[in-house]
């Protein structure tokens, strides 16, 4: 039986030039070329300011990763998201989300439906809420959830 070596670090980039991968080296090389050309075109004080900004941007694009994604693709995705038109359109297809489903009585699907979404008390499974007394009324109140179920909740007054 032949044994093969399985690669273990498949999610890391190969180090091509020094401690940098090919993409990182390209970012830094382009920034170095731009800074080199600007050295001959600008006065020294202006060149120092502009080159420090370009170098910081190049190192950021080359080395910073957020959630495993480089800063370049992340910035491009953010730019596309904010500058593309965004439409939020609600299309009703005539059937509402909470429409009742017709099921044969006594079927397994009917039982599962009742257990999952019933608004009424199912005997032998659930107990109803106790009637509120005056003592409980001071600290507790009965609320109705969006599903229609009633529940007793503690009232907290922050005064």
pLDDT tens column, 6-24: 777 776 777 778 888 888 8
- Counting other chains too, the contacts that 146-150 makes at CB distance below 8 Å and 24 or more residues apart are 147/117, 147/119, 148/119, 149/119
State the chain's mean pLDDT as an integer. 76
CA terminus-to-terminus distance, the chain: 77
| Selected residue with higher pLDDT from 117 and 76 | 76
Distance separating alpha carbons of residues 58 and 82, to the nearest angstrom? 23
3-state class (DSSP) for residue 18: coil
3-state class (DSSP) for residue 49: helix
List pLDDT tens digits, range 110-158: 666 666 665 666 666 656 555 555 554 456 777 777 777 777 777 666 6
Predicted local distance difference test score (pLDDT) of residue 101 = 52
Distance separating alpha carbons of residues 151 and 109, to the nearest angstrom? 26
* Cβ neighbour number for residue 61 with a 10 Å cutoff: 21
Predicted local distance difference test score (pLDDT) of residue 16 = 78
Share of the chain above pLDDT 90, in %: 21
Q: Are 38 and 77 in contact (CB under 8 A)?
A: no
């Amino acid at each position: 039986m032949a044994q093969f070596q399985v690669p273990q670090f498949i999610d890391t980039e190969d180090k091509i030039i020094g401690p940098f991968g090919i993409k990182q080296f390209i970012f830094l090389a382009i920034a170095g070329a731009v800074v080199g050309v600007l050295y001959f075109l600008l006065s020294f004080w202006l060149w120092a300011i502009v080159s420090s900004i370009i170098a910081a941007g190049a190192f950021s694009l080359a080395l910073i990763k957020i959630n495993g994604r480089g800063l370049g693709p992340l910035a491009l995705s953010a730019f596309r998201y904010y500058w593309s038109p965004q439409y939020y359109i609600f299309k009703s297809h005539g059937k509402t989300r909470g429409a009742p489903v017709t099921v044969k009585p006594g079927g397994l699907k009917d039982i599962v439906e009742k257990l999952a979404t019933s608004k009424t008390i199912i005997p032998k499974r659930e107990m109803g809420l106790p009637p509120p007394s005056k003592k409980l009324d001071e600290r507790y109140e009965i609320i109705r959830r969006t599903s229609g179920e009633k529940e007793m909740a503690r009232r907290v007054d922050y005064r």
